[in-house]
Structure 1
């Protein structure tokens, strides 16, 4: 539970040079100077940067602008990687906005800048931190302190096409619970002609992390980075060999459709157009997937004429083993600049409390698909019968509440998160495509990850 781990130990002091060096560890190929494109903030306006596009972004903008404790401005910055780049540029330029949304994968790198302050230290004294969902506390409360404010959090679940299941002779009420069953169901879907492929998911490290956590396997040493800076990836294990062998064989047998690295939209399109019968995706995609299955799609991503309506089913994320330990948390949290007046700090604390209120968390959940971070909000939704009326929203909660907290289910905490992410994704592509053997690919993956960990540690402690 909260306070059981310590991870604020990287830097002894951080100046502009170190911040620039840490930004360089992102490895994004940007040759420009950090901060070149950062607009000078308006001191009279409380600025919030976020990474929510589409309807979720519109809802968040509306929520921020409804806050009456200060004049506020909510700005979309692009993807999680885009906003991280913008943050480093703003820090180096001395123009960090008051509040920034950061993917939970990048927590350590933001902590290492020492440019932020504790969210808990700004929250009103009566804000009930103990009412935060247990899994949220387990990840975001560090050394007894809520350093960033959880807001848009999720986990990965399974979506499936019940109509295709019926056509394939599968039970439409029984989604696959294990990777072995995923293969069996995929074979039935393809062999029956119900779909062209069995399953798809974006080649993203989060899905690999979730398979490790369900099997109670650490992906990095030092307790996934929660007990000190990690030095290696656990890729030379029987578990890793079996996982990537399964993935490679699924691809080789045309059961897995590869949409590409971080290809979220492509995977969602393949599912909604009936090319695949199963997809793995975030709980944040529930609202869009429910609408899409009913024929209401985002025409910028999917041609409406290509979508035949179907009955949607959802299930727990399939486990590599018969036993399920738990899933890693996803989504992001709100970080706060350490450069602001006492008056502005009080306003920021009130804004965080407002966004984390029961009423706003219910509105956010129902409008975006992210789960509420407050237990009281969940209780209220249950009392109102929301989950009975909307069972797909309940899938994520049921999975979350059944998850056990262990070092393996705490998402990896790693400074060079983006580089580690890319190395795992690129090596996975090489392995499942057959460009390298499973053994050689995993050896290269581990070596590349170790190189990035060593480089970051050297830069961060220079």
Structure 2
């Protein structure tokens, strides 16, 4: 957290201070029951969260809930860092999965822990202010990632996994009988589709983001860091040169060189690949299941159908599972009892079966509890929208190993940036994957070493 603090600019910090000063007025009793929630959305997802806040206050009129959106998880994380050092953090903050280790290590202006584990704050209660506690009902994939040292550090909310989107019109025209399920099948399908007279400019696209090679590493049971991916202790060594890692990097380079893979030219660009798919400039897309509702509906507006299937695997490799993405809600420590209970109750309210099911229907993020899945099944939602079941079913295939659970790593965001730069060099300059990732590993290891010096004695 202290490392990230230096990233925020003075202008942003000044604006944040003004905003916080405006928010913190009023009587002490009002402040005690005020819940400020910061999330990394500014679109329809923010609107959804604000509406749930209104409904929560209708049930609990003694509280005020203010939901504020930020343009991205990274911007939000920087704003949180500045606010915590000024002594004015929000009550609840949404941090993405890559910031889990840094959130666990974060301290406030007094050097005390910034967040209290939600399970510790719940303290074994079954309900809070009449809202049933849902932690025991969280689906296994989110439970496995966010349970650290035997307890939930934060409250799961928006959880995703990457899935595979296919333009069914192109598949039919090219004589491809079903969406590719392996990387080898994808190459074969691309060869056929690119021969079409009226085919797309390229065949497939996905963002240049470290999440995607991390998936293939996990699928094969490979680890990104020691200590069982940071699950048995603080990760101290990173591995970006394993055979499991390089297998996909080499495949990625080959697909690009053959003209099959479309690269927008922008690192961590989620919109470029999605727009290329919506514009039928590529036949296949890999992106988050959190975009499923938008991808399918936009394709239908254009006039083509979409098949949504599991993330591909290597045909002859073992399978351990796919990783989650998304974010959780963290509870600031040191709150008064009334504020803390209100915040905990709001977290449970957001994830009750009805709200968790509606969040899934609205966005495509997986339903976060088993009860929400059962509710959707009973309503016939999956019968009418079978593609919405793909992400949940994919995550349910996980073997629960440290590889499939996902890595806990300090400076993870900065390390991911090293990965995306290395991939760009490999794609655009023809750098050798093994040599370039040996360099990236050295840089990533330095980032991890520097981080660990801050948080180990």
Partner of 2:28: none
Partner of 1:65: 54
Q: Where do 5+ consecutive residues of structure 1 fail to align? A: 1-18, 296-307
Partner of 1:211: 216
Partner of 1:456: 451
Query: Which residues of 2 match residues 143-158 of structure 1 at below 5 A?
Result: 143-158=149-164
Query: Which residues of 2 match residues 137-216 of structure 1 at below 5 A?
Result: 137-171=143-177, 174-193=178-197, 194-216=199-221
After TM superposition, the structure 1 stretch with the greater mean CA deviation from structure 2, 152-161 or 36-45, is: 36-45
Which of 33, 37, 42 does residue 48 from structure 1 map onto? Answer: 37
Judge conservation of contact 2:187–2:255 (CA < 8 Å) in 1.
Answer: yes
Judge conservation of contact 1:22–1:460 (CA < 8 Å) in 2.
Answer: no
Partner of 1:117: 116
- Deviation of 1:105 (Å): 0.9
TM-score normalized with structure 2 length = 0.89
Partner of 1:11: none
- Deviation of 1:33 (Å): 8.0
Pairwise CA RMSD:
1.7
Q: Secondary structure at the match of 2:200?
A: coil
After TM superposition, the structure 1 stretch with the greater mean CA deviation from structure 2, 41-50 or 56-65, is: 41-50
Q: How many Å separate the matches in 1 of 2:256 and 2:407?
A: 27
Q: Secondary structure at the match of 1:433?
A: helix
- Deviation of 1:22 (Å): 4.9
**Distance change (3 Å), C-alpha of 1:394 and 1:346:** same
- Deviation of 1:136 (Å): 1.5
Q: How many Å separate the matches in 2 of 1:53 and 1:160?
A: 28
Q: Where do 5+ consecutive residues of structure 2 fail to align? A: 25-30, 107-112, 128-132
Which of 87, 112, 130 does residue 94 from structure 1 map onto? Answer: 87
Q: Secondary structure at the match of 1:372?
A: coil
Q: How many Å separate the matches in 2 of 1:436 and 1:151?
A: 39
Q: How many residues align?
A: 426
The answer as to 2:234 corresponding to 1:234 is no
Q: Secondary structure at the match of 1:276?
A: coil
The answer as to 2:213 corresponding to 1:224 is no
The answer as to 2:14 corresponding to 1:32 is no
Judge conservation of contact 1:244–1:432 (CA < 8 Å) in 2.
Answer: no
Partner of 2:321: 326
Partner of 2:400: 405
- Deviation of 1:209 (Å): 1.2
Q: How many Å separate the matches in 2 of 1:279 and 1:208?
A: 15
Query: Which residues of 2 match residues 56-455 of structure 1 at below 5 A?
Result: 56-68=45-57, 69=60, 70-113=63-106, 114-123=113-122, 124-126=125-127, 127-171=133-177, 174-193=178-197, 194-259=199-264, 260-295=266-301, 308-322=302-316, 323-455=318-450
Q: How many Å separate the matches in 2 of 1:386 and 1:201?
A: 28
Runs of 4+ with >4 A deviation: none
How big is each residue's C-alpha offset from its partner over 1:314-350, in whole Å with a ceiling of 9 and x where there is no partner?
1100113444221111100000111321111111111
Judge conservation of contact 1:361–1:374 (CA < 8 Å) in 2.
Answer: yes
- Deviation of 1:100 (Å): 0.4
Judge conservation of contact 1:120–1:146 (CA < 8 Å) in 2.
Answer: yes
Q: How many Å separate the matches in 2 of 1:434 and 1:23?
A: 34
Judge conservation of contact 2:134–2:352 (CA < 8 Å) in 1.
Answer: no
Q: Secondary structure at the match of 2:120?
A: coil
Q: Secondary structure at the match of 2:158?
A: strand
Q: How many Å separate the matches in 1 of 2:450 and 2:142?
A: 30
Judge conservation of contact 1:197–1:275 (CA < 8 Å) in 2.
Answer: yes
Q: How many Å separate the matches in 2 of 1:213 and 1:141?
A: 18
Instruction: Identify the structure with bigger relative contact order (alpha carbons < 8 Å, sequence gap 6+).
Output: 1
- Deviation of 1:36 (Å): 3.3
Judge conservation of contact 1:233–1:446 (CA < 8 Å) in 2.
Answer: yes
- Which structure has more helix as a fraction of its residues? 2
Judge conservation of contact 1:226–1:413 (CA < 8 Å) in 2.
Answer: yes
Judge conservation of contact 1:161–1:312 (CA < 8 Å) in 2.
Answer: yes
After TM superposition, the structure 1 stretch with the greater mean CA deviation from structure 2, 47-56 or 345-354, is: 47-56
- Deviation of 1:65 (Å): 2.3
Q: How many Å separate the matches in 2 of 1:117 and 1:59?
A: 26
**Distance change (3 Å), C-alpha of 1:21 and 1:364:** same
Q: How many Å separate the matches in 2 of 1:190 and 1:64?
A: 49
Q: How many Å separate the matches in 2 of 1:203 and 1:254?
A: 16
